[in-house]
Structure 1
């Protein structure tokens, strides 16, 4: 599935996901000069809904399969009928056969970080094994399990849009490469330095805690569309959804792709949302959460963008590393600092 699956220990996103608890963000979030606070919405309409109480976090309505791997788990992506894993401390990619559990190792020129995929290809950013500084991208043909191209540079957070893979370099330059032969086809100065980028609605959203910047690959244009910066972006119900940087993790917010009509959906009391959003269909997505009493990052909830309600909650046997994905029926999650990837499937 095409989605971005994250770098565990870099910059702004890592500060939120690290578990230093999302609530601490309220105390340290600041307002950018010349902008309003992220939870205020001038010149737009703000609606608020409260999600229904989710099912209890038992496991009677789900089935979990644990896949043992030879390295501590990292980000995962589903492609070519298999599940691909990027261990964050080793210079390999792992291919898991979901039917047999067989694991195949593929050497990489660096330590894997972010990963994204289509049905036939996997793109990953890789880092220096000692400093973890970004050193480039790799393309893997998931039908043949081979590394076909290596792109040197400091680009991270690859995204597949049309015939191009886009990635943001550490100097704020967005690079576009051909998905077939990895030749560079476009560059654009975003002005966003030191952050990553998310993809939603066919646009790229370079990370910023206070501003929603939107990059349009169709004409290489960059717009400041809203002063509500979001992380964990997903497109659902024709809107852009995410977690406001200034929130304590108890709500999701959304806006139209042009940044207007800001809305808020409060989660059930006691539920916090973390990083990682994975689409289910046009109106729903999975997002990593934790209910009161559950371990942080150990659950994945179904969110309906049309109704603003939480549906089924899947519980994993351990804290999740950044980088979940879905095969359409089940959710795959890497277990933090353990050589395990777990598939959890709803049965209801």
Structure 2
């Protein structure tokens, strides 16, 4: 009798081991789970199971945890018959050369828009680039991204947190009622990360509405611009604008084009960890004449690659840049005459002043 009990115990242990092997696989720095409880441990336990299920669906779940370096935690959740979410949580004290892809700034062909609703963040997508009638329909985009930045209080050991979620769902961005679904995992994870990391960040409200990411062919006359390109003067050969709304985004962009819609200048504003990351990146470059924390004034580098200025903000230094464009071909030279330089300064001044004011920063250094 005792022997039967022992055999049954051994069989039970073997079955349990086989079951574990069925849902846990270890691949180097990756751990892949196929079990309902895996959601509770995903991304160091920062995800809310009910929110993830509500967005991705009720099917069988697979979770892959990944650690990419100091201060960065990542995981991927896939629900069979539902959706997929890739989540990255970053302690922004660790941004720099080793994590240059850690902060989301949108697609080059589709500028991201502000999340709004009290959140400092971006909402963007990668549209179809092959002539789709509607580039933001569910079967014509790759991933929809929500990226949020949290500023921690002085009592926290963390300087700030960044939460980025790339979501793939069988839903269309064209429906305004569906867009907020793509942000729910990011906002719930941000709340969980703030609590778990003792960040004490001020959180936004539930996201109830969102603009579409801006498609690259959404031009308008510069004189009527009322978003990130507002207030920038027109000039000979600079009459068209592509912009997004302003609304607390940590990264803003404005594109200026000629009457043929060929881009002439690209202006960018970087705040918080985005500015920190960009400035650290420039400090690693071999050129002395690039933006850095020791030269906060406007200057045009010798090769004509860019001009910049800075401002002091509640979350640290902000960086504003303007880049002439190569779009007209490899043989086109950067604008270099006095009129071009004067226009760049005027455009950068108008762009930086309005952006800084919207973010409650000091007036930018005058170009």
Shorter chain as denominator, the TM-score bin is under 0.3
**Which structure would you say has the larger RCO, counting Cα contacts within 8 Å and 6 or more residues apart?**
1
* Structure with greater helix percent: 2
Larger Rg: 2
Provide TM-score, normalisation by structure 2. Answer: 0.23
* Structure with greater strand percent: 1
